[in-house]
Structures are given as C-alpha cells and as structure tokens.
Amino acid sequence: MSDLKWWQTSVFYQIYPRSFADGNGDGIGDLKGIIQKLDYLADLGIDAIWLSPHFPSPNWDWGYDISDYTKVAPEYGTLEEFKTFLHEAHARHIRVILDLVLNHTSDQHPWFIESESSRDNAKADWYVWVDKPPNNWQSCFDGDAWTYVPERDQYYYHYFMKQQPDLNWHNPEVKQAMWDVVRFWLDLGVDGYRLDAISTIFEDPNLTPHEVPLNLAGLRRLSELAQSPEEIRQVGEYWVDMFKYQLAQPGLHDLMKELRAVINEYDGDRLLVAEDEDIAYMGNGEDELHLVFNFPLLKVGSITPALIQLNQKERLERLDALPKRGWPCNTLGNHDNSRIHTHFGDKIYDAQIARLNAALMFTLRGTPFLYYGEEIGMTDLIITDPTRLRDTMATWYYDALVNDLKIDPAEAALRAGEMTRDKNRTPMQWTSGPNGGFSSENIETWLPVHPNHAQGINARDEAKNPASLLNYYKRLLRLRRSTPALVEGEYTALEVATGEYFAFLRTTNMQTLLVVLNYSNQRHSLEMAVSGFKTARTLFSSLERSKAEERLTNLTVGPFEALIAELQA
Ligand code: NOJ
C-alpha cells in the first residue's frame, strides 16, 4: 500500500484485560489468557491491540488508578508475561499500544503517599494542594473535587474519585517522572499509547467556581428525570457548565508537544491517540498527537444517514485544514460506553443495525477502533443487584440516591445499573458453556457473564456459523485488508434521494468503491449516477445479492443492507 503509516492502515481492538480471558481460573482476565487468544485475534483480522491499564492498582477505577506505572498488576501476571505477550503479538504482526494515565495516580502511589505525608517533603508539590477548598468544583465521579488530608491540614484536588488525586503538571519533576514511564514501555517495544482523559490535566488558574445550582448527584438525578426538549437542553448545558473550568485549560498543547518529542526519540512510528475528540490536539498535524477519536459520532443516540454525513463533513474538513493533513479515527464503543447493539439499536432491528454500524466503521476513511466482544454482538447487561456492582461511580451514585436524595432502593438500583459502566465490561463470551468459557465452572467471575452466551452469543458457536456476526466481521476485515481503496481512498459523500440510506465513494487512482448503507427496513432503488462509471461489481453485502454485477442505474439495496461495490466504466 501507499506511504501510509502502520497506524493508518490498522484496525485496532481494545482489550479490557480484566474481562477478556481468564488464563489462571480466578475469575479475572489476565495476560496468560490474552496470550492464549492471540490466534483468535489474528484470525479475526485485527492489526493492533489497545490494552486498557494493566498496571498495579487498588482498582477503585479498575486500573485507571495506578499505584505503579512500571509494573504489571499481580492479578494480570508479571513483567515477564507482559514481555511474552508483546513478543507473541508482534510475532503475529499485531502491534500493541498501552493506556497512559497522565492526569492522576492512585492515592496509593508512593508519589502521593509521600506528598500527603507533610507540607515539606520532596514530593510536596507533585499534586494540587490548597489550604481551603477554593470553589464548588465537583469530581465527575463522586461529589466534591477537594478532599481533606489531616497530615497536611490541606485539601487535594481530584477530577475523578478521591482515590485518584490529580498530579501537578506545572511541576517539571512530575513531567520528568512521567516521561521516564513513557520511555520504560517504549524501550520494551510497545507501539504507542492511548492517552487517558488529557483534557483534565490542567485546571482554570483562577479557580473560577461553576454556576450550576446543583451538585453532581443532583445533576445526575435531574438528567434522568429530564423529559421535554427544554429540560434535556438545560441539563446538557448544566453538564458543560459544571465542568468547564476543570477541562481543556491552557497548557495542554505545549505538554502534548513535549510528549510528542519523547515519542519521536523512538523509531517505528510509535503512536499517540488521545481520549479526546478535539482535532486541535493534533497541533499542526505533526507536532502533537497522531490521532484523536471521532467521539461526536459515538455520542449520538441513534445513527442516521444525515448524522453520519454531517459528522464526516465537519470532521474531515477540519482534518484536511491542518497544515499537515490529519488522519481520522472512528469508534462506536469502548469500556466507558454502552455496547453497539444496545446503544444504537431500536429494540426491533438491533442485529441488522449492528451489522450496518460495523460496516460503517470499516468503510469510513480513518483508523477504526473496535471494543472486545462487539464482533460477537455482546450486549449490555443491566445489573440490578447493587452488591454485584463493581464500578465505584455507580455504587457512589446508588448510595447518594438512597441516602441523600431518599429515592426508593429498588429504583436506585435500577438507575445505578443503567448508568454504570459495568454493563458493558462483562466477561468476553467464548463458548456457550459455564461462565461463557471465560472462567471455569463454579468460579465467581469478577462481573457476571451475560446469560445470552448460552443463546449463541459466543465466539465458538459463531465461528461455526457462516451467517454469524463474527463471520460477518471477519469477511469485512479481510475485504478491508485486500482492498486498498477502503483504507487509503478519498471519501466523497453522494447525494441520495431519501434520508433512509447513505452512500459514499472511496477512491484511489486505481479503484473507485461505492458504499451504500441502508438504515431502513425498505428496499430502495438507487438510480445512481457516478460520472465515468456504468456498472457496480459487488465486493461485499450483508444480504444475499442475486447478481454479482449490475448497471449502476438499476442498483437497488435491500432492507438494512450494507453494500460495498467496485465501480467500473
Ligand atoms: C477515562 C477512562 O476511559 C475511564 O475509564 C476512567 O474512569 C477515567 N478516564 C479516569 O481515568
């Protein structure tokens, strides 16, 4: 293929290590399990893994509260096992990027333990300390953003939970320590990083209070109750206003440039992809981050042709306007969001819509990121027993609903079960057997396995069924690998007669592809006119098509069909 970098041609697969594969039978996923499943991933056809945090952690936020950045969590294995994992992945031509949490550490990290011990220790200024809470800022997870420490008779700031104190990135020693961490894993051969929550790194220097007349629990509750468009608009505004002084503050661009310089010390085109949608963090296109996610597409309630078209127009125009043209990066799910089936389904055609959305991810211009289990159609699992919740954000909210807002416990349990991220982090479903083949029988897995593993939603059964979603993904991924225009082709949206389907071209000098995604249950005659082309040869369809080649003017698409065709003169 052309001169694209590996991360432009790759399909990424996110592994949430706790939930992917349990290699030692303790109910928790681990590196040994991941190594055993590398052949599955190679066969699926992905090119790179994003591994969510695998570092030691007290697990208040399941690895996103790190207590040692250069070790492996004992429940996941050892550093030696990590090296084996990396070696085995590379041996299968699968790259590996790690999760880099810059904003905060665990409160059990030795840096924080030292920092909180007195006002004059060597790390006294490594976190954000104040004498008195200077404002009403909230933590986005658990209420007040300022927590008191008697040893210092001071408060520290945390955007996330109190167990996740924010580092003071104005302190050059913090930077050096973190850049050493970055180098540690790059030296071992990892291919880059996904950067956690970069927009939370700096705070408003004036510490301006927010003006929302509610605290976090109150706003969450109001959001659940909002019904009318006006109420929904109001809560949306409140969410932005509550956190606007704590997010995306000055200083970040310089910091991202420094980090890029560290990455550039290494060969192999190591990658930085931010958990952020703001294209501004790509700098001039080559001096900050390589990629940011197209989160605006993920955040919509349901995907419609009009929304995709608008989204692509906005994103691609901005990327094209960078001095060095930027590359898109698309995703429809991750460990913080509902699964594709549940999120974008309409409760009638969920399976068909999930197939369309998979085709969308692999045909749009840009690097796709796929969350584990989407390829077999895993769905959210609403946990209604609060004692089974593991996401601290949800247990905190349950307690706040019952104790502070005096909500009936049954309703509170339902609300917590709906808002928690546990629902989309359940163990990977490998078989229809006990525990979905994730762990052996009689083991209590860290989160319950979705019962639908026994109804065919599992990798083993789907592998045997040619019509399964898993085989649909494999077909799409194979086609993508063997069809350069799907990877490097330019994108051009086509005018279509109705808003029920969506059509675009992917074009290189050698090839022109037509992609049609019909988001309706109706058949449509396309009556396409693409200058210079007369016929369309089907490369892929989600339905059976009677003819392999058709005149463009006669082309039709069936209900919920995803069609990829090569145009010919
Ligand atoms: C974003 C991560 O994706 C999320 O899971 C985590 O809770 C927060 N950042 C805090 O690290």
DSSP 501-513: EEEEEEE-SS-EE
Report if residue 29 sits inside a domain. Answer: yes
Pick out the chain residues at pLDDT < 70: 1
- Residue that terminates a domain, selected from 472, 501, 531: 472
Residue 270 shares a structural domain with residue 134: no
Does ligand 1 have an atom closer than 6 angstroms to the CB of 61?
Answer: yes
Residue 261 shares a structural domain with residue 357: yes
Residue 56 shares a structural domain with residue 142: no
Cα separation, 352 vs 343, in Å, equals 13
- Output the 3-class SS for 318-368: HHHCCCCCCCCEEECCCCCCCCHHHHHCCCCCHHHHHHHHHHHHHHCCCEE
- Residue that terminates a domain, selected from 446, 472, 498: 472
- pLDDT score for 1: 53
Active site (annotated) includes residue 120: no
Residue 90 shares a structural domain with residue 141: no
- pLDDT score for 518: 97
Which of 148, 61, 69, 151 lies closest to 113, judged by CA?
151
Give the predicted TM-score (pTM) of the model.
Answer: 0.97
Do residues 474 and 44 make contact, with C-beta atoms less than 8 angstroms apart? yes
Please compute Rg for the chain using Cα positions: 24
Does ligand 1 have an atom closer than 6 angstroms to the CB of 155?
Answer: no
User: Tens digit of pLDDT for each residue in 505-538?
Assistant: 999 999 999 999 999 999 999 988 899 999 999 9
Does ligand 1 have an atom closer than 6 angstroms to the CB of 196?
Answer: yes
Which of 506, 505, 485, 509 lies closest to 495, judged by CA?
505
In terms of residue numbers, what domain contains 270?
Answer: 6-102+171-201+251-382+455-472
Phi, psi of 175 (to 5 degrees): -60, -50
Report if residue 505 sits inside a domain. Answer: yes
Residue 337 shares a structural domain with residue 466: yes
Q: Is 198 helix (H, G, I), strand (E, B) or coil?
A: helix
- pLDDT score for 497: 81
Residue 48 shares a structural domain with residue 124: no
- Whose alpha carbon is nearest atom 10 of ligand 1? 64
Residue 39 shares a structural domain with residue 147: no
Ligand 1 atom nearest to 103, measured from its CA: 11
- pLDDT score for 44: 98
Q: Which one is catalytic: 61, 81, 196, 288?
A: 196
Does ligand 1 have an atom closer than 6 angstroms to the CB of 159?
Answer: no
Residue 294 shares a structural domain with residue 350: yes
- pLDDT score for 529: 87
CATH number of 128's domain: 3.90.400.10
> Which residues are CB-neighbours of 375 under 8 A, at least 6 positions away?
44, 358, 469, 470, 473
Does ligand 1 have an atom closer than 6 angstroms to the CB of 404?
Answer: no
Residue 153 shares a structural domain with residue 175: no
Supply 370's token pair: 């796929």
- Residue that terminates a domain, selected from 122, 157, 192: 157
- pLDDT score for 478: 98
Residue 139 shares a structural domain with residue 280: no
Report if residue 375 sits inside a domain. Answer: yes
Report if residue 230 sits inside a domain. Answer: no
Supply 505's token pair: 């071209």
Residue 134 shares a structural domain with residue 263: no
Report if residue 423 sits inside a domain. Answer: no
- pLDDT score for 301: 87
- Output the 3-class SS for 374-430: HHHCCCCCCCCCHHHCCCHHHHHHHHHHHHHCCCCHHHHHHHHHHHCHHHHCCCCCC
Distance 190 CA to ligand 1 centre (A): 21
Active site (annotated) includes residue 196: yes
Cα separation, 5 vs 329, in Å, equals 14
Does ligand 1 have an atom closer than 6 angstroms to the CB of 126?
Answer: no
Ligand 1 atom nearest to 393, measured from its CA: 7
Report if residue 239 sits inside a domain. Answer: no
Report if residue 289 sits inside a domain. Answer: yes
Supply 552's token pair: 């463009």
Domains of the chain: total: 3
CA terminus-to-terminus distance, the chain: 23
Residue 181 shares a structural domain with residue 115: no
Ligand 1 atom nearest to 101, measured from its CA: 11
CATH number of 330's domain: 3.20.20.80
